[in-house]
Amino acid sequence: MRDAIARALEAATSAGASYADARVVESMHERLSVRTGRVEGIESGESLGIGIRVIAAGAWGFAATADMSAHGVRAAAAEAVALARAAAATAHHAPIVLSPVDAYRDTWTGPCEIDPFTIATEDKLAILLAADEAMRAEAAVRVSSAALDFLHVRKLFGSSEGSLIEQAYTESQAGIVAYAIGDGEMLPRSYPNSHGGQAVQGGWEAILALDLTGNAPRVGEQAAALLSAAPCPAETTTVIIDGSQIALQVHESIGHPTELDRVLGDEAAFAGTSFLGLNDIDTFRYGSEHVTVTADATVPGSLGSFGYDDEGVPAQRDFLVVGGVLTSFQSSRESAPAMGRASNGCMRADGWNRQPLVRMTTVSLEPGTWDFEDLIANTESGIYLETNNSWSIDDKRLNFQFACEIGWEIRNGALGRMIKNPNYTGITPAFWGSCDAVCSPDHWQVWGIPNCGKGEPMQVAHVAHGAAPARFRDVRVGVGR
């Protein structure tokens, strides 16, 4: 790895790059999936390659190859420089200026108590098959699924400024879903979260802690009960949203619009821009006084954590929103100068073959003071919503609509009858402005989101969000119901 890095940097600078960095990324993954009693897949894979990013003639070029031979690496470096020159020759613009960063020679390793790749396949399948079967104890659950995913990444970053940083981490993910089918409806119920479950930096210990088998009967029962649950009323009401859905709400309506590359227009044609502008820092009211949001790459065990980002900037904890007021953006070395600051370390790439982009780390709604039971008891009328089922938001991150798997009426301070297919919609600042309560650290946890798409060519980032249940007033629910 070190030889490849040195070779890439030497070739790039020799070809005329004023700056170069190179990342060698070696990864291995394993996935086991069970569906309705059938082992659907047992697969594993590995990948190795190098991505070389350069500035030449004032523009970026990036080339990546799986050919790790000396010739292959040098050719990729030369191609990166040629790409930069091509970009510069026909698109006149101010040369790229990077915010300063020290040169680091360091190593970082994520937490992992029990290496999941050492666990016998039979043991993994036993958990999946047991959970899958337990969900189907309910006859209405006609389809069930359970899956485990493991990833190990080892990467080495070097730059022409003298950094050489080696990092390694392991990710573990698990989830189960029961699908109740009847009367033209298919209603999912998931645990511990939808869209693949929960994902963390950690090992087999994290899977055991989820107790998939123990939770499966409840998941199946709730899925079956949804078929006869009440439809979501179409009204404007108070909603209390569980932590996992708050995590996605933060992701879509705070995480993405505070990415500085979106603010500056670099993602306009694909993911979109942001309703926020550079001048909004320290003045824009994002939400109520209860809304404080951090971007933190130092949270232990989070998918959003690392020692250094993919341009060698140390992991940091920054405040994006304090007491409802916007205070910062997630940035890179190139974009940070636009707000007169140094990078807060949010550049991440989806593997060796992608150029880093501004990506979320662990973007969290900081906990409040409420006990969950007290919050329900304090709510006269409304709906309690759990677990995301669908998400959509406009290109400026203002107009959103989320559907959840399940809800319960709240009447006179108590949870009432179950509601199926609940959804809600809103406009970002008004929605966060209506937040009048956030639950305490006792109810706060970090949710991994391993499927955040952005960029062209598409990149899928593994990010995370800390969240606790929170309450919002005057929210429109039951849209299109």
Partner 1 sequence: MRYSLENARILAERAVHATHADAAEAVVTSESSALTRFANNRIHQNVAESDTRLSIRAVLGTRTGVASTNRHDDEAITRCAAAAVEAARHAPEDPDFGGLPEAAPITAVSRVSATTAGYDADRRAEAAAAIIGQSSARGFVAAGTIATSDYAVAVANTGGVSAVMEADDLRATVLSTGLQGGSGWASFLTSDAASFSPSALGGRAATTAERSERPAALDPGVYTVVLAPEAVSDLLDFLGYLGFGAKSFAEGGSFLTEAIGTSLVDERISIYDDALSPGTIGLLFDFEGQPKQRTPLIAGGVAVGPVTDSYYARKLGLPNTGHALPAPNPYGPMPLNLELAAGDSTEAEMIASVDRGIYVTRFHYVNVEDPMKIVLTGMTRDGTFLIENGALTTPVRNLRFTQDVLDALSHVGAIGSQRALVGPGEGGATLATALLLERWEFTGQTG
125 binds partner 1 (CB under 8 A): yes
Smallest distance from the beta carbon of 396 to partner 1, in angstroms?
A: 7
Minimum separation from the CB atom of position 395 to partner 1 (A): 5
Chain residues 281-320 in contact with partner 1, contact rule CB under 8 A: none
| Of 207 and 439, CB closest to partner 1 | 207
Choice between 172 and 423, CB closer to partner 1: 423
CB 362 within 8 A of CB 328: no
Binder of partner 1 out of 107, 228, 369, 392 (CB under 8 A): 392
User: Rounded to whole angstroms, how far apart are CA atoms 434 and 426?
Assistant: 10
How many chain residues interact with partner 1 (CB under 8 A)?
80
Q: Which CB sits closer to partner 1, 311 or 366?
A: 311
**Residue in 20, 140, 320, 403 binding partner 1, rule: CB under 8 A:** 403
Q: Minimum Å distance from CB 217 to partner 1? A: 21
CA distances from 243 to 43, 355, 356, 388, 392 (A): 32, 32, 29, 10, 18
* Binding-site member from 70, 103, 268, 414 for partner 1 (CB under 8 A): 268
- Shortest reach from residue 3's CB to partner 1, in Å: 17
* Residue 249 makes contact with partner 1 by CB under 8 A: no
* Contact window for partner 1 (CB under 8 A) among 158-166, 242-250, 287-295, 391-399: 391-399
Give start and end residues of each alpha helix (H) in 378-441. Answer: 428-433
- Identify whether the C-beta of residue 478 lies closer than 8 Å to the C-beta of residue 384: no
Choices 139-147, 223-231, 362-370, 371-379; region in contact with partner 1 by CB under 8 A: 139-147
Nearer to partner 1, 434 or 440 (CB): 434
Does position 257 bind partner 1 by CB under 8 A? no
Alpha helices of 114-182 — where are they, by DSSP H?
121-135
CA 74 to chain centroid? 34
CB of 462 to partner 1, least distance (A): 18
- Range in contact with partner 1 (rule: CB under 8 A) among 276-284, 287-295, 351-359, 409-417: 351-359
Scored b (16 or more CB within 10 A) or e, 281-293 reads beebbbbbebbbb
Tell whether residue 105 is a contact of partner 1 (CB under 8 A): no
Alpha helices in 236-333 (DSSP H): 243-250, 260-263
Interface with partner 1, residue 340, by CB under 8 A: no
Q: What's at 455, amino acid-wise?
A: G
Binding residues for partner 1 restricted to 175-194, rule: CB under 8 A: 179, 181, 184-186
- Is the link from the previous residue into 116 a cis peptide, with omega within 30 of 0? no
The interface with partner 1 within residues 65-104 (CB under 8 A) comprises: 65-67, 79-80, 82-84, 86-87, 89-93
Among 122, 283, 340, 412, contact with partner 1 (rule: CB under 8 A): 122
Stretch that binds partner 1, among 152-160, 304-312, 320-328, 395-403 (CB under 8 A): 395-403
How large is the angle between the packed helices 121-135 and 212-226, nearest 10 degrees?
A: 30
- Find how far residue 30's CA is from the centre of its chain: 20
Per-residue DSSP letter, 100: P
18, 288, 298, 401: which one contacts partner 1 (CB under 8 A)? 401
Among 398, 413, 434, 440, the residue binding partner 1 under the rule CB under 8 A is: 398
Quick one: 66 or 209, whose CB is closer to partner 1?
66
Residue 239: closest CA among 361, 402, 53, 41: 402
Tell the smallest beta-carbon distance from residue 157 to partner 1 (Å). Answer: 18
Query: What Å distances lie between residue 152 and 46, 145, 407, CA to CA?
Result: 9, 24, 36
User: Taking a C-beta distance cutoff of 8 angstroms, is the pair 438, 243 a contact?
Assistant: no
Q: Among residues 438, 385, 376, which one has the least CA distance to residue 412? A: 376
Which residue, 27 or 298, has its beta carbon nearer to partner 1?
Answer: 27
| 41 lies in the binding site for partner 1 (CB under 8 A) | yes
For partner 1, the binding residues in 437-456 under the rule CB under 8 A are 456
Binders in 20-39 for partner 1, by CB under 8 A: 33, 35-36, 38-39
Residue 467 CA: distances (Å) to CA of 2, 31, 173: 39, 27, 18
Residue from 316, 378, 425, 440 binding partner 1 (CB under 8 A): 425
For the CB of residue 271, give the shortest distance to partner 1 in the complex, in Å.
9
39 or 281, CB closer to partner 1? 39
- 192: cis peptide before it, omega within 30°? yes
Instruction: Kindly state the smallest distance separating residue 430's Cβ from partner 1, in Å.
Output: 9
Instruction: Report the residue number, 190 or 294, with the smaller CB distance to partner 1.
Output: 190
Query: Which are the contacts of 208, defined by CB distance < 8 A and separation ≥ 6?
Result: none
Helix %, strand %, coil % of the chain (to 5): 25, 40, 35
Specify the residue, 345 or 426, whose C-beta has the smaller distance to partner 1: 426
Q: For residues 274 and 263, is the Cβ–Cβ distance under 8 A?
A: yes
**Measuring CA to CA, which residue among 185, 271, 256 is closest to residue 223?**
185
Query: Two tokens at 233?
Result: 């009323």
